[in-house]
Chains A and B, each alone.
Chain A
Amino acid sequence: MNTDQIGYLLRASTSGAVAGCRVSELELPQLGCMLRIPQAHGYQVYGILYDMHIDDDGLVRQLVTADSISPEVIADNRLHRTVPVEISMIFAGYQQGEHIFHLLPPRPPLTLEDVYLCTPVEMCAFTASGHFGYFRHILRGTDFPAAEILASHLRQAALAQLRQDNPGWANAATQEVITLLRDDYPTLMNVLAALSDAQLMSEE
């Protein structure tokens, strides 16, 4: 597996997808990070991670009752037992050739496509393209904590932009959030509180 590859696609729809990865690959992705799923002919789909799901099973439930679990047993469970971590993402846009669109992809990727973590440069390229159109995909979400995901994403993107000499990105992103939520005061307050906790402005 490529170093930036975090897993393979399990299932997808027009608005999002779920990828499976081994527990040992779980160190790379984090909530709100950007993922990409390359396709043929210069087409690739971008997503934002909003959930990581780790299932238990009968053996794990029994093992936790032991006084102490040996490192070999923990390693065996993480390396070999077929309990994939499920990583859920919403689609944020796609790339066709040189152009990046903050629209839902024209067709969802297929099962077992490689799923990669975006590098800071790739993240900057996507987030600086257009005018934050992909925020609406996040804010539309109802089955995940949108404010928290957005705050986490903005924190990571702002840091990447800062390192790419684009310190104004975080402020412009926050202004865009305020504009998008100007008619939805409760959600706006929720998002701003999360952004405050994310200490987004201190990165500038």
Chain B
Amino acid sequence: MPVNYQQIRKAIKDAGLAMPQRERELLARRDQLFQLFGQFAGQPTLLRERANQALAANPDLRLALPPDQALDSRISEDLNQPAVTMWAADGSQIIPDAHLAVQFGVINVGLIRLAAQEPPRQQIESKLLYANELYSAQGHLLGEESIALRRDSSERTALLKAAQGETSPVLTLTDGPLELFREMGNSMEYKQQVTEYLSILSQMAEKRIATAGYVDKPRSDLVIRLLELQNIPAQDLGKSDRLRSLVGIPDTELFASFLEPCERSVVFELKSPSAQYFGGDLAIHFFYLNVGRTAKAHIVRVEIPAWMAGSESTLATIQHALLAQCRQMGSKAYPYILHRAHETAVVSYDERNQLLNLLQVELLNQGLSAGETSQKQQAKNLPGKTRFGQ
């Protein structure tokens, strides 16, 4: 029996009993949120001042900084936007596994290009991580976070390489935030990867290659945190990250309440510890976009660098291009090009095993040992127990 259902069942029952109470609390918080929003949505300067005070007291705060526009502004799609060439990249990876016979990693980036009246193109960029490349400067085997960081950087590098050959306006897209949000603190490796990543973004900005990060089902509460500050006394702003009154409500709930299908919000600036690396032209901005249908809002967050955020025509182009992509996917709105990039990039478990075999064959050809799977892994690979009746 894989799970102790008796224990889990009790936990589910207990959680179920607590659900109505939690729902009542969330309801009260939502009322409070909409009151705050009604009161302050039209006062962006006041909100901005308050946010700046809080940031001065605690620079590690994570929140949205509003523009000089009302927060409840709704910007419709401009259907007369010119067509742009789109490139999307998505990455997939094989994380080094110490239990395998041979340690190796792979970063795989799938690229798709779509342009009106041109044949679509796809590319795959694969990088094998082997031997010294598998270890951090401190000698640790690269882990999930580290590989993910390199993958994010590889996606953007591949996009720059692909898009700089374009002669017409181009929009490059990745799935997930533009911000490198990884739990690696301020490690040397993180800083090094961020520096490389920023260099790529800078080159994109210089060449005016538009780039965006598309976050489907965002759970962030950046605007909520901004509004929350209004409830906190000035002397307590420094500890506002611990004085949360609207926990559990994501921004999407707020924007779903007033953004009609195909409308976007105003553009906010993202403030966070990791966003501090992104300054000037590269400062991370974002807007929310309703890619859903009437009475069925689906709010996504789109992250862009500052140089794009200041251009209304660029924003209109992105909004239209993303919505056009989402419309291709029918009832489940998501940019078609991103799905295809993912489909192109994804590395399956079977492929990992094939690469392992190739490496082992090469080692044997060189007269070296092909390594040995750990005994723990060998035990795990044994056929599972057969249950009665199966």
Contacts and interface: CB of A to CB of B under 8 A. Distances in A.
Interface of A: 59, 62-73, 75-76, 79-81
A76 B114 contact: yes
Nearest to B334: A62
A64 B330 contact: yes
Interface stretch (B117-125, B206-214, B252-260, B281-289): B117-125
B344 to A, nearest CB: 8
A72 B330 contact: no
A72 B332 contact: no
Contact of A62 (B122, B331, B340): B331
A32 to B, nearest CB: 31
Given A72-B115, A72-B116, A80-B120, A65 B343 contact: no
Interface in B315-343: 324, 327-332, 336, 339-340, 343
B112 A76 contact: yes
Contacts of A67: 327, 330
Nearest to B121: A80
Contact of A75 (B119, B324, B328, B329): B119
A72 to B, nearest CB: 5
A63 B339 CA distance: 12
A65 B328 CA distance: 9
A71 B330 contact: no
Given A59-B339, A64-B330, A80 B122 contact: yes
Interface residues of B, number: 21
Contacts of B332: 62
Contact of B328 (A70, A79, A81): A70
A79 B119 contact: yes
Contacts, number: 47
Nearest to A24: B119
A68 to B, nearest CB: 8
Interface of B: 112, 114-120, 122, 324, 327-332, 336, 339-340, 343-344
B345 to A, nearest CB: 13
16 contacts: A59-B339, A62-B329, A62-B330, A63-B328, A63-B336, A66-B329, A67-B327, A70-B324, A72-B114, A72-B116, A73-B114, A75-B119, A76-B114, A76-B120, A76-B340, A80-B120
Nearest to A57: B343
A70 B328 CA distance: 7
Contact of A66 (B330, B339, B340, B344): B330
A79 B121 CA distance: 9
A59 B341 CA distance: 13
Contacts of B331: 62, 65
Given A72-B114, A72-B115, A63 B329 contact: yes
B261 to A, nearest CB: 13
Contacts of A79: 119-120
Contact of B327 (A62, A66, A75, A76): A66
Contacts of A80: 120, 122, 340, 344
* Ranked 3 nearest A-B pairs via Cβ: A65-B330, A76-B120, A66-B330
B119 A59 contact: no
Nearest to B120: A76
B340 to A, nearest CB: 7
A63 B337 CA distance: 12
A20 B328 CA distance: 28
A77 B112 CA distance: 12
B120 A75 contact: yes
Contacts of A70: 324, 328
A81 B112 CA distance: 11
A150 to B, nearest CB: 39
B114 A59 contact: no
Nearest to B114: A72
B216 to A, nearest CB: 14
Nearest to B330: A65
A70 B329 CA distance: 11
Contacts of B344: 80
Given A72-B114, A76-B114, A63 B120 contact: no
B174 to A, nearest CB: 18
A80 B113 CA distance: 11
A73 B339 contact: no
A66 B324 CA distance: 11
Contact of B117 (A65, A66, A71): A71
Given A65-B330, A73-B336, A80-B122, 10 more contacts: A59-B339, A62-B330, A63-B328, A63-B329, A65-B331, A66-B330, A67-B327, A70-B328, A76-B120, A79-B119
B343 A69 contact: no
Given A72-B120, A75-B119, A66 B343 contact: no
B292 to A, nearest CB: 14
A76 B339 CA distance: 12
A68 B330 CA distance: 9
Contacts of B120: 72, 75-76, 79-80
Contacts of A65: 330-331
